[in-house]
Amino acid sequence: MDFQHNERTQQLIKKVKKFIDEKIRPFETQYFKEIHKRNNGHDWTKWSVSSEIENLKQQAKAEGLWNLFLPDTEHGQGLSALEYAPLAEEMGKSFLAPEIFNCNAPDTGNMEVLHKYGTAEQKAQWLTPLLNGEIRSAFCMTEPDVASSDATNMQATAIIEGDEIVINGTKWWSSGIGHPNCKVIIFMGLSDANANRHSQHSMVLVPVDTKGVTIERMLPVFGEYDEPYGHGEVSFTNVRVPIANLILGKGRGFEIAQGRLGPGRIHHCMRCIGAAEYVLKLLIERSISRVAFGKPIINLGGNRERIADFRIAIDQARLLTFFAAWKLDTLGALGAMTEISAIKVVAPNVLQQVCDEAIQIHGGAGVSHDFPFTGFFSIARCIRIADGPDAVHRGLITRMELLKYPNVGK
Amino acid sequence: MDFQHNERTQQLIKKVKKFIDEKIRPFETQYFKEIHKRNNGHDWTKWSVSSEIENLKQQAKAEGLWNLFLPDTEHGQGLSALEYAPLAEEMGKSFLAPEIFNCNAPDTGNMEVLHKYGTAEQKAQWLTPLLNGEIRSAFCMTEPDVASSDATNMQATAIIEGDEIVINGTKWWSSGIGHPNCKVIIFMGLSDANANRHSQHSMVLVPVDTKGVTIERMLPVFGEYDEPYGHGEVSFTNVRVPIANLILGKGRGFEIAQGRLGPGRIHHCMRCIGAAEYVLKLLIERSISRVAFGKPIINLGGNRERIADFRIAIDQARLLTFFAAWKLDTLGALGAMTEISAIKVVAPNVLQQVCDEAIQIHGGAGVSHDFPFTGFFSIARCIRIADGPDAVHRGLITRMELLKYPNVGK
Amino acid sequence: MDFQHNERTQQLIKKVKKFIDEKIRPFETQYFKEIHKRNNGHDWTKWSVSSEIENLKQQAKAEGLWNLFLPDTEHGQGLSALEYAPLAEEMGKSFLAPEIFNCNAPDTGNMEVLHKYGTAEQKAQWLTPLLNGEIRSAFCMTEPDVASSDATNMQATAIIEGDEIVINGTKWWSSGIGHPNCKVIIFMGLSDANANRHSQHSMVLVPVDTKGVTIERMLPVFGEYDEPYGHGEVSFTNVRVPIANLILGKGRGFEIAQGRLGPGRIHHCMRCIGAAEYVLKLLIERSISRVAFGKPIINLGGNRERIADFRIAIDQARLLTFFAAWKLDTLGALGAMTEISAIKVVAPNVLQQVCDEAIQIHGGAGVSHDFPFTGFFSIARCIRIADGPDAVHRGLITRMELLKYPNVGK
Amino acid sequence: MDFQHNERTQQLIKKVKKFIDEKIRPFETQYFKEIHKRNNGHDWTKWSVSSEIENLKQQAKAEGLWNLFLPDTEHGQGLSALEYAPLAEEMGKSFLAPEIFNCNAPDTGNMEVLHKYGTAEQKAQWLTPLLNGEIRSAFCMTEPDVASSDATNMQATAIIEGDEIVINGTKWWSSGIGHPNCKVIIFMGLSDANANRHSQHSMVLVPVDTKGVTIERMLPVFGEYDEPYGHGEVSFTNVRVPIANLILGKGRGFEIAQGRLGPGRIHHCMRCIGAAEYVLKLLIERSISRVAFGKPIINLGGNRERIADFRIAIDQARLLTFFAAWKLDTLGALGAMTEISAIKVVAPNVLQQVCDEAIQIHGGAGVSHDFPFTGFFSIARCIRIADGPDAVHRGLITRMELLKYPNVGK
């Protein structure tokens, strides 16, 4: 057992950190100020991409800080989940960093899917420009009319008719679909209601500009629209794409989804942990600097205890996520199920709580745009729902636990 | 001891409930949909007042559901804090109800101040139109540059020079200042830095259109600008008002503030409790209606237990707030200090937690504008900071508790 | 609505308080020291009754502080549940007070049962000496071999054979059965397994010295045997009692149990609240008196916040229990179901938490017999299990809550 | 980074596990039943050592499962803290295992002290028989009259007079002093009140049978006396030992204590984690096996969620403790301060909570001696106080955290 990252990872951590501190951080405060001033809100037709972001992406690519998430050695950097985890943590400290290093969800998951399951044509058409950061993508799974925490509830259809797939239904929480560069959707829908429960759904590539695809609206998260990414509600009306757009095969949607979710959850959680560290840093700085009732705020009431509790909670969440990544690397997604579900519960909750307390310490400033707390809070709040809500993951952990007791109660 | 509201209060509860259910609720969903669509955000110069709201206000006034908060029998309805409390609970279930019944903060507190401490001229000029619902008002106390949880930190000045008061400084979180009808500010500032700690500050009436008063910006709360009320940052640059605008006397700001805060906190808390009941209702309806893994969501995991815990928490918060109101009515603000601080900690926290869980039960829909949860969450989140953050109230409760042990440790 | 106890109740509170402070408290510290020194532990055959306790009982009776729990005006004092509640709170501050005022469980519940449902003969034989404090009693319901949280699981039998009832089976957690004066058991058992679910069980009076009744052992609670009351495991082997010992009628056990439990739970909860107040008092006194790192302990870390949280929690628990008592008095046991279950969850949990923190503040002394914390902790811990565990009460609260939504999900 | 234990450790885990399962577990249930039956309680003069325990110790020694805690390769097995940690976890699942493997506190800490700081004579006289398991030892630090959470409060004296040390004062919570084989005390006391704060105290070896040493009483923990170890209150009246009994030098008590506490806390925490695993196992088995309301208990209310939360909490605690051990091994006690304090807060709290829930699931059986829950609960409860209460460790964590902000607020 050894808790030290290997040499290469240590070097990458330093480089990512330095890039964020020196290049991204100074830019992003101003950037968000302008976005808020522009006040485009839900009107995504006015959203644009900052040229400085494209510029920073080029720099990141030049420094080799590019597609770090992809385990593949040819297109990515050959990093294991455990090696990439601390880099994701660093990226989580900034809202922009994930895009700038081309490690942004849902593009990362989509790239993994294409890399792992895509045909040569699919890869040429979509994976290459995604890996180059030239286009973005969306993932359409969640639906407004059913409890999507149970993914088998999905009702939107992807029916194979001859050499075409016909798509109908409404999806929402399609993150990133508002981005001007978003060109392709991975759509998951019902293709055979009579197959067994986990073989009914298929994944299909749908270009955003296909006839019948309509972005109905952008959805706010606590009032924010997350420009220029956005979370869209998208209707599909008799959308037709060639059967060549089917990924892996009919009814294999869940199989793909499983492979996609393990690494994605580790990325999300590590970013939450990074964000929690950053928010804790701001919390501490403020609580040392501001004075009330004759003392720095940090010395009032239980504030010092809360800081200790956050230090403990963050460190525990990080170790558990590293452990999950290590199990994923060594035992595969199935062998890491308990741990991946565990971090999915733990990490966003820790971030949410640190944000809540940072708001409390900052007073009114904390709920405004003057600080990043409501932004990080919203990320945490959404992750607690997305990719399976807390309750589903708790349920899965117990199900796994009970496998250790095959004969009890029989 | 008797837990039944008196006959009059029971009748008023029914009338307020009916008015909200039949007149306000059907209107407000559409109303907020339009506000969000208009997307004015921080650009408060475009904010307007809906004629339907003015219409509803007239109806409320006609039905005698007007200024219920004011204990005075002449201008209000002569209700005690305990009699008004359950009405405030009902109003808390709707975002618009408080304004429509002319029971909206900070106007309520400002009216109480003017009613209790205002001169005849001050009353004629400001109290009458406020009581009529013709104008609105703001309260300027919190400042961006100091920890305002300790109100003695206030640095903005209100210096008496001859027969004028000269005002300088910056205030923020001046709620309601964005409302097109907001005409007057009650400003609290330092008038004598050499007086004893609680006699340094004065309260002054400042018409919003006075020269030198500038609304610098509206502040978002979790990305929302609370149109058409808003929370403003306001600068005061050599603002001059006649000395007749001074309330009660130089250095008596804290004295006024104390009298103002007791009832106000009870109103806030009862509205939180009402909101929590309403959110719990939506949570339960959704959890019964949606199905996942073959069961209504309510029957999954710990959902039923959480509902029980919310029922307990809400009922306890309500009883404690009634008790605080009863103590305020029978013993005055000083005699109710422990209880008022206690509810100030409890009630918004209960609301925040119910909202958080309602979001979890609703999935993505919960964080969007399709449901009122983020709106109520933001109210709860702000109340935990405003009028003294949780930590200050906990500190006060313990200070009061220790008065029971005068000789221990001596 | 009025939060003041009536005059008579106020007077009784004062008298009970004074009696405890002046007569019981000075005695009980020494009393328990001797019990611990005697070290009889599980060997209940050596348990005895202190003559001083009998003496104190006579004094209490003489002062009219006797059978206060019984609503009946002839045999009790005619106090409503709400009037008795604050007296139970005072009694809860002392381990001995409940017995000395003849208000000790399970005798109180047993007396209520006999008073309400007993025949003239049953009353003459058992109720009169119980009301006089001459004998004690036990209640045998819980069984070792089934999950007794679901009372319908009870397997021990009480079969009517001609003019006798034949009893077989094992019960445990029969509290008070170790007391030298314990003379009678109310036994609840299965008398007709084919009746409907809540009509299968009957209650029967069984003299402790009946042939076939064997106290197998006393059960420890966290290592303590609660001398001279005790919690027994009792076996019944072909125990025969005359049919005249049947209470109310065959199959009416649950009907009786329901009537018995409402008031009993309120008594338990109020005693928990009294104990929590007393423990908080000791906690505060210690935290003011002891110094560490140059400060009184109270000023370290989050200690002051915790005291505030306890003040809030205790006050909320008390109000909720008063409310439950008021509903019981005005609407009966069915109308108070939600509230009685709510306090059953809340009150012992508050006591447990206050004890846990008092231990923490007292260090090693806190877990020893030098302070009463482990004693009160054990009471709280048992009440969380007895008369329905927390989970059962939470379940019931939600079931009641859902009655408000008869049409949702249909 | 690698989460796999090395080969040797894996082998040792298996051997320890097997030894406990096959040899200790079958014995210990009966053993404790007899101890409880004997009912010696506080009367330690009747305590004896089971010959079977001596027998098991010989077997453990023969199998090389002996003194595993000692990093030294000559007298111990040369295991690092990280290698020993999982073995301590296994031992924590049994009350007897630590003694049987000669890895019992406070002997382990005392052996470390002697090994590290003892003179050749001290080692010959005390370390050798301790390493052989022939004698036991105690550690006298905590005092009844001061807040011992601040160790500098210690008032008992160890004054050097010529070639003797004169010891006076009272200590308590001297664990293990009741053991028939306990022959020596490491006493820590004030030797120079004028030295600087951390150089006032010295450690001295005091044979238990020295004149003036009196065991005043054994202290109960939640009513249990922990026979045959015990927790004693010990008075020292003009106790004289030769100056050769001084460890390391005058005023170096804190220096020794620091070196002693790091590994000791890791052992305690790992044992807590092992105990928590074992208790969770019993909890799950019971909740699968017992039925209420027609379902296995595990499927009622939030029980499944709680199991998931415990799985998460235990895994996080284990990883954090391994991390602390790794930092201790690689950076020394100073470099591991934050982590050691963190686990000291986390691990016993997790154990306490699992025990509390196991009690809830087992009903009355849970608080009795029929299950080990109150025993493990008491261990957890004491560890939260011993070696620094939670509040002190939280304070230390924050102090360490603030070292990262040397310039803020300056």
B377 contacts chain A (CB < 8 A): yes
pLDDT at C49: 92
pLDDT at D408: 79
Nearest to B359 by CA among B298, B291, B283: B283
Q: Which amino acid is at A227?
A: E
pLDDT of B407 above 70: yes
In this structure, the number of other CB atoms found within 10 A of the CB of residue A65 comes to 24
* Whether the Cβ atoms of residue D143 and residue D172 lie closer than 8 Å to each other: yes
Chains near A (3 or more Cβ pairs under 8 Å): B, C, D
**CA B69 to CA B83: how far, in whole Å?**
9
pLDDT of A260 above 90: no
- Coil, strand or helix: which one is A141? coil
pLDDT of C261 above 80: no
**A278-282, A348-352, B201-205, D253-257 — which is least confidently predicted?**
D253-257
Chains near B (3 or more Cβ pairs under 8 Å): A, C, D
Tell if the CB–CB gap between A284 and D323 is shorter than 8 Å: no
Tell if the CB–CB gap between D368 and C221 is shorter than 8 Å: yes
pLDDT of D259 above 80: no
C258 shares its domain with C204: no
The shares of helix, strand and coil residues in chain A, as percent rounded to the nearest 5, are 55, 15, 30
Quick: pLDDT tens for B56-109: 999 999 999 999 999 999 888 999 999 999 999 999 999 999 999 999 999 999
**CA D235 to CA D241: how far, in whole Å?**
15
pLDDT at A408: 79
Q: How does residue D410 score in pLDDT terms, banded at 50, 70 and 90? A: low
Residue count (chain D): 410
**Mean pLDDT of the D367-372 span:** 97
Q: What is the mean pLDDT of chain A?
A: 96
A39 lies in which domain range?
7-131
D235 shares its domain with D265: no
CB neighbours of A55 closer than 8 A, spacing ≥ 6?
none
Burial of D196 (0-12, 13-18, 19+ CB in 10 A): exposed
* Whether the Cβ atoms of residue B244 and residue B281 lie closer than 8 Å to each other: no
Q: What is the DSSP letter of C157?
A: E
Tell if the CB–CB gap between C382 and D364 is shorter than 8 Å: yes
pLDDT of D230 above 70: yes
Q: Take residue A338 and report the two structure tokens written for it.
A: 């308990």
pLDDT at A368: 97
* Whether the Cβ atoms of residue B298 and residue B360 lie closer than 8 Å to each other: no
D163 contacts chain B (CB < 8 A): no
Show residues of chain D in contact with C364, CB under 8 Å.
142, 148, 172-173, 219, 231, 382, 385-386
Show residues of chain D in contact with A311, CB under 8 Å.
338, 342, 397-398, 401
Q: What is the DSSP letter of B328?
A: H
Q: Which amino acid is at C290?
A: R
**Is residue A408 included in any domain, yes or no?**
no
**Is residue C79 included in any domain, yes or no?**
yes
C144 shares its domain with C79: no
**CA C377 to CA C368: how far, in whole Å?**
12
**Is residue B259 included in any domain, yes or no?**
yes
In this structure, the number of other CB atoms found within 10 A of the CB of residue A33 comes to 12
**CA A133 to CA A128: how far, in whole Å?**
9
**Mean pLDDT of the A256-268 span:** 87
What is the rounded radius of gyration, in angstroms, for the C-alpha atoms of chain A? 22
Nearest to C283 by CA among C304, C258, C267: C304
Tell if the CB–CB gap between D374 and C222 is shorter than 8 Å: yes
Show residues of chain A in contact with C298, CB under 8 Å.
none
**CA D130 to CA D147: how far, in whole Å?**
31
* Whether the Cβ atoms of residue D250 and residue D373 lie closer than 8 Å to each other: no
**B348-352, C205-209, C378-382, D39-43 — which is least confidently predicted?**
D39-43
**CA B395 to CA A180: how far, in whole Å?**
51
* Whether the Cβ atoms of residue B189 and residue B169 lie closer than 8 Å to each other: yes
pLDDT at D75: 87
**Is residue D312 included in any domain, yes or no?**
yes
D294 contacts chain B (CB < 8 A): no
D295 contacts chain B (CB < 8 A): no
pLDDT of D409 above 70: no
Q: Which amino acid is at B206?
A: V
Tell if the CB–CB gap between C364 and D302 is shorter than 8 Å: no
Q: Using CA atoms of B125, B129, B131, B134 in order, give the dihedral in degrees to the nearest 10.
A: -160
Instruction: Look at residues D208, D226, D250 and tell me which one is the last residue of a structural domain.
Output: D250
Q: Measured between CA atoms, how close is B190 to chain D, in angstroms?
A: 25
Tell if the CB–CB gap between C363 and D220 is shorter than 8 Å: no
What is the CA C57 to chain-centroid distance, rounded?
A: 19
Quick: pLDDT tens for D155-202: 999 999 999 999 999 999 999 999 999 999 999 999 999 999 999 999
pLDDT at B347: 98
Tell if the CB–CB gap between D147 and C224 is shorter than 8 Å: no
pLDDT at A149: 86
Residue to test with chain A: of D312, D314, D339, most A Cβ within 10 A: D312
**Is residue A308 included in any domain, yes or no?**
yes
pLDDT at A213: 98
Q: How many domains does chain B have?
A: 3
C364 contacts chain A (CB < 8 A): no
Name the D residues in 22-81 with CB < 8 Å from any C CB: 36-37, 39, 41-43
Residue to test with chain D: of C172, C222, C396, most D Cβ within 10 A: C222
CATH classification at residue D306? 1.20.140.10
C11 shares its domain with C63: yes
D259 shares its domain with D398: yes
- Coil, strand or helix: which one is B71? coil
* DSSP, residue by residue, B280-310: HHHHHHHHHH-EETTEEGGGSTTHHHHHHHH
Tell if the CB–CB gap between A346 and D304 is shorter than 8 Å: no
**Is residue D109 included in any domain, yes or no?**
yes
**CA D260 to CA C171: how far, in whole Å?**
50
CATH classification at residue D192? 2.40.110.10
Tell if the CB–CB gap between D381 and C367 is shorter than 8 Å: yes
Q: Which of B41, B221, B360 sits opposite A389 (nearest CB)?
A: B360
Continuous segment of H or E residues that includes residue D201: strand D201-207
> What pairing do the DSSP bridges indicate for beta strands D246-247 and B246-247?
unpaired
> What pairing do the DSSP bridges indicate for beta strands A136-140 and A182-190?
parallel
Instruction: Look at residues D250, D281, D306 and tell me which one is the last residue of a structural domain.
Output: D250
**CA A348 to CA A346: how far, in whole Å?**
6
Show residues of chain C in contact with B394, CB under 8 Å.
304-305, 308-309
**CA B273 to CA B281: how far, in whole Å?**
12
B207-233 exposure pattern, b = at least 16 Cβ within 10 A, e = fewer: ebebeebebebbbbbbbbbbbbbbbbb
Q: Is B78 left (phi over 0), alpha (psi -120 to 50) or beta?
A: left
B285 contacts chain A (CB < 8 A): no
3-state secondary structure C373-406: HHHHHHHHHHHCCCCCCHHHHHHHHHHHHHCCCC
* Whether the Cβ atoms of residue D215 and residue D232 lie closer than 8 Å to each other: yes
Q: What percent of chain B clears pLDDT 70, i.e. is strictly above it? A: 100
Show residues of chain D in contact with B302, CB under 8 Å.
301-302, 304-306
Residue A202's beta-bridge partner residues? A189
Quick: pLDDT tens for C104-150: 999 999 999 999 999 999 999 999 999 999 999 999 999 999 998 88
Q: Using CA atoms of A82, A87, A90, A94 in order, give the dihedral in degrees to the nearest 10.
A: -120
**Is residue C409 included in any domain, yes or no?**
no
B162 contacts chain D (CB < 8 A): no
Quick: pLDDT tens for B127-144: 999 999 999 999 999 999
**Mean pLDDT of the C400-406 span:** 96
pLDDT of A409 above 80: no
pLDDT of C95 above 90: yes
Quick: pLDDT tens for B103-129: 999 999 999 999 999 999 999 999 999
Instruction: Look at residues A102, A131, A160 and tell me which one is the last residue of a structural domain.
Output: A131
Taking the whole predicted model, whether its pTM rises above 0.95 is answered as yes
A327 shares its domain with A395: yes
CATH classification at residue C21? 1.10.540.10
* DSSP, residue by residue, A217-274: EEPPBTTB--TTT-EEEEEEEEEEEEGGGEESSTT-HHHHHHHHHHHHHHHHHHHHHH
Show residues of chain A in contact with D298, CB under 8 Å.
402
Quick: pLDDT tens for B256-312: 988 777 789 999 999 999 999 999 999 999 999 999 999 999 999 999 999 999 999
Burial of B27 (0-12, 13-18, 19+ CB in 10 A): middle
B198 contacts chain A (CB < 8 A): no
**Tokens 């306090």 — which residue?**
C343
Quick: pLDDT tens for C351-376: 999 999 999 999 999 999 999 999 99
C273 shares its domain with C390: yes
**CA D268 to CA D92: how far, in whole Å?**
8
D177 shares its domain with D203: yes
ipTM score: 0.96
- Coil, strand or helix: which one is B37? helix
* Whether the Cβ atoms of residue A252 and residue A203 lie closer than 8 Å to each other: yes
Q: Take residue D229 and report the two structure tokens written for it.
A: 């170890």
pLDDT at C277: 98
- Coil, strand or helix: which one is A186? strand
B305 contacts chain D (CB < 8 A): yes
Q: How does residue A321 score in pLDDT terms, banded at 50, 70 and 90? A: very high
CB-hemisphere CA count at 13 Å for B263? 29
Quick: pLDDT tens for A158-216: 999 999 999 999 999 999 999 999 999 999 999 999 999 999 999 999 999 999 999 99
Q: Measured between CA atoms, how close is C308 to chain B, in angstroms?
A: 5
Tell if the CB–CB gap between B320 and C323 is shorter than 8 Å: no
**CA C138 to CA C136: how far, in whole Å?**
7
Q: Measured between CA atoms, how close is D394 to chain A, in angstroms?
A: 5
Q: Measured between CA atoms, how close is B313 to chain A, in angstroms?
A: 20
Show residues of chain B in contact with A142, CB under 8 Å.
363-364
CB neighbours of C391 closer than 8 A, spacing ≥ 6?
B305, C149, D300, D301, D302, D303, D360
Nearest to B138 by CA among B223, B227, B51, B205: B205
**Is residue B410 included in any domain, yes or no?**
no
Tell if the CB–CB gap between D222 and C219 is shorter than 8 Å: no
pLDDT of A308 above 80: yes
- Coil, strand or helix: which one is C139? strand
Tell if the CB–CB gap between A150 and B301 is shorter than 8 Å: no
Nearest to B68 by CA among B91, B45, B37: B91
Tell if the CB–CB gap between B284 and C319 is shorter than 8 Å: no
Q: Which of A224, A292, A385 sits opposite B150 (nearest CB)?
A: A292
D73 shares its domain with D145: no
Q: How does residue B409 score in pLDDT terms, banded at 50, 70 and 90? A: low
C216 shares its domain with C166: yes
pLDDT at D76: 87
pLDDT at A407: 82
- Please provide residue D167's backbone torsions phi and psi, each rounded to the nearest 5 degrees: -115, 130
- Please provide residue A183's backbone torsions phi and psi, each rounded to the nearest 5 degrees: -115, -20
Look at the alpha carbons of A239, A241, A243, A245 in this order and tell me if their dihedral is positive or negative.
negative
**CA C68 to CA C79: how far, in whole Å?**
7
D144 shares its domain with D164: yes
C271 shares its domain with C395: yes
Burial of A32 (0-12, 13-18, 19+ CB in 10 A): middle
